């Protein structure tokens, strides 16, 4: 099986490169080869590829910057995936796309199910929802995989930032009223391979959730990082109101992942095991 993957250097794409299963090959396209700000060009790439399925892990991920540049974010996160999906539909290629918990309103305490009503509260969430809407309207056989709080040994992310700051400071103030599932990029990569293999084999798709377990607050997560890294830095939990950002963050990022387990046999990963692996890999240079 051969995959065409939009994305090459991000956290999930990097793990996909490292974790290619036996029997799967993949062409990974970075921005130099596939610029998502040009949706028509992305569609032409799909139209001319020799892949068995297409996976999109590329995205505009600058959440706060999207507030000032929503049109540009919507082209990348909305129009480009929709164009890819339409090109997949024309060739009957499965299309697998990564989305986000930010498509929901972030209220309440109940985990969001895939078919719950969406109501994004910031520009990034709206741009990602536009992509989902376009994919569903494309006529393609698709799987949308919503995830949350992605971390890895690569790029900039919460684990690496907390480890660095924890080595520099005696105390950190971290938001304690936002709850979700930290999700290592490695199991996301594995899930995408499993979904692609199943859909190439004829299985239907849909919209699914995939997030690490157990659910935790950012402050809880930070404390676990300090403990696992052997750092003495104390973490004080604070409300979101004490840490304002240009883009509103959801208080509830919990995701109900049961349908993914039922349809594909993919269980929620334990983020604590993933955290240990990330810290082991990054070492003192995190």
Question: Distance from first CA to last CA of the chain, Å, rounded?
Answer: 35
217 found inside a domain: no
Q: Check whether 222 has a pLDDT greater than 70.
A: yes
Q: In the chain, pLDDT over 70 holds for what percent of residues?
A: 99
Q: If phi over 0 gives left and psi between -120 and 50 gives alpha, with beta otherwise, what is residue 265?
A: left
Number of domains forming the structure of the chain: 1
Q: Check whether 257 has a pLDDT greater than 90.
A: yes
Give the containing element (helix H, strand E) for 198: helix 185-200
* CA torsion through residues 153, 275, 100, 267, sign: positive
Query: Is the peptide bond between 214 and the residue preceding it cis, with omega within 30 degrees of 0?
Result: yes
Q: Which of 48-57, 185-194, 228-237, 275-284 has the lowest mean pLDDT?
A: 275-284
250 found inside a domain: no
89 found inside a domain: yes
Q: Place 54 in a pLDDT band, splitting at 50, 70 and 90.
A: very high
As a whole number, the mean pLDDT across the chain is: 97
**How many whole angstroms separate alpha carbon 222 and alpha carbon 244?**
18
Note whether 102 and 120 are within 8 A (CB): yes
Q: Is 208 a catalytic residue?
A: no
pLDDT mean over 26-35: 96
- DSSP letter assigned to residue 267: P
148 found inside a domain: yes
Residue with structure tokens 């790029």? Answer: 155
129 found inside a domain: yes
Note whether 143 and 208 are within 8 A (CB): yes
Q: Check whether 284 has a pLDDT greater than 60.
A: no
Quickly count: other Cβ atoms within 10 Å of residue 8's Cβ.
Answer: 19
Please report the pLDDT score of residue 286 as a whole number.
43
Please give the torsion angle defined by the CA atoms of residues 57, 243, 282 and 27, in that order, rounded to the nearest 10 degrees: 10
Domain of residue 68 covers 2-155+182-212+256-263
Please report the pLDDT score of residue 176 as a whole number.
98
Q: Place 283 in a pLDDT band, splitting at 50, 70 and 90.
A: confident
169 found inside a domain: no
Helix, strand, or coil (residue 169): coil
pLDDT mean over 13-24: 97
Residue 63: give its domain's CATH number: 3.40.50.720
187 found inside a domain: yes
Residue from 102, 124, 208, 243 carrying the catalytic annotation: 124
249 found inside a domain: no
**How many whole angstroms separate alpha carbon 262 and alpha carbon 258?**
6
pLDDT mean over 88-97: 98
Residue with structure tokens 């607050």? Answer: 217
């Amino acid at each position: 099986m051969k995959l065409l993957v939009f994305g090459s250097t991000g956290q999930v794409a990097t793990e996909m490169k490292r974790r290619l299963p036996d029997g799967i090959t993949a062409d990974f396209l970075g921005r130099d080869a596939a610029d998502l700000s040009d949706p028509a060009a992305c569609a032409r790439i799909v139209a001319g590829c020799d892949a068995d399925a297409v996976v999109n892990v590329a995205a505009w991920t600058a959440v706060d910057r999207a507030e000032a540049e929503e049109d540009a974010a919507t082209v990348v996160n909305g129009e480009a995936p929709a164009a890819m999906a339409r090109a997949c539909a024309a060739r009957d290629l499965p299309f697998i796309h990564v989305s986000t918990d930010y498509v929901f309103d972030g209220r309440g305490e109940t985990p969001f199910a895939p078919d719950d009503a969406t109501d994004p509260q910031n520009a990034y969430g709206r741009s990602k929802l536009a992509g989902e809407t376009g994919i569903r309207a494309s006529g393609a056989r698709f799987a949308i995989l919503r995830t949350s709080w992605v971390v890895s040994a690569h790029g900039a992310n919460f684990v690496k930032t907390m480890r660095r700051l924890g080595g520099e400071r005696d105390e950190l103030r971290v938001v304690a009223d936002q709850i979700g599932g930290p999700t290592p990029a490695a199991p996301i990569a594995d899930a995408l391979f499993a979904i692609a293999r199943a859909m190439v084999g004829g299985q239907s798709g849909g919209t699914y959730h995939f997030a690490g377990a157990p659910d935790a607050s950012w402050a809880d997560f930070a404390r676990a990082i300090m403990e696992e890294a052997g750092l003495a830095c104390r973490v004080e939990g604070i409300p979101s109101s004490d840490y304002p950002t240009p883009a509103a963050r959801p208080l509830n990022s919990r995701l109900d992942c049961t349908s993914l387990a039922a349809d594909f046999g993919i269980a929620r990963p334990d983020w604590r095991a993933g955290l240990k692996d990330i810290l082991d890999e990054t070492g003192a240079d995190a």
